[in-house]
Amino acid sequence: MHTVSHHTLDELRRIRRRSNGGMRDRLQMVILAMEGQTAPQIAQAVGSSRRTVQDWVYSYNAWGLEGLQDGRGGNRRHLTNAQEQQICEYLNRTAADPHQGVRRGEDLRQWIQQQFGVLYTLTGIYDMLRRLGYSWLMPRPRHAQANLAAQEQFKKNA
């Protein structure tokens, strides 16, 4: 397989020893390709498909080590700590207000998109709320004009 020499074999081996699992496997593919093995041989050696080997070697040829980074997202945060603190302040400030408070995950998702330009999934919102110490389940709010005395009287007479 053709490889572009962004790094020497010794450099790649040193980087591979310090890398995590996924990056280690991708570096091994590039190292084997630089040693002259074919894509089917590399695929068999690393337990992957021929096409996967070709894709990762192509990415390394085009972008170097950055091409071997896994770009699928994952558990990285999309907001800074300061932005998450603003979310906490907003939730605390509006919690008691029946008209303005956040009652659904979708409400908070839309607010975050408007404020910070970051689009979360509902699952991501629930994970963030749990991480920040909030519960996404809460009792139904009481109406601001509810007459609690009349309600208690009704309960006693019913």
Give the model confidence (pLDDT) of 37-65 as tens digits.
999 999 999 999 999 999 999 999 999 88
Cβ 108 vs Cβ 125: under 8 Å: yes
Give pLDDT, residue 136: 65
Close Cβ partners of 91 (under 8 Å, ≥ 6 residues apart): 102, 108, 134
Angstrom distance (rounded) from CA 156 to CA 150:
10
Place 140 in a pLDDT band, splitting at 50, 70 and 90: low
The torsion defined by the Cα of 30, 31, 37 and 39, in degrees rounded to 10, comes to -20
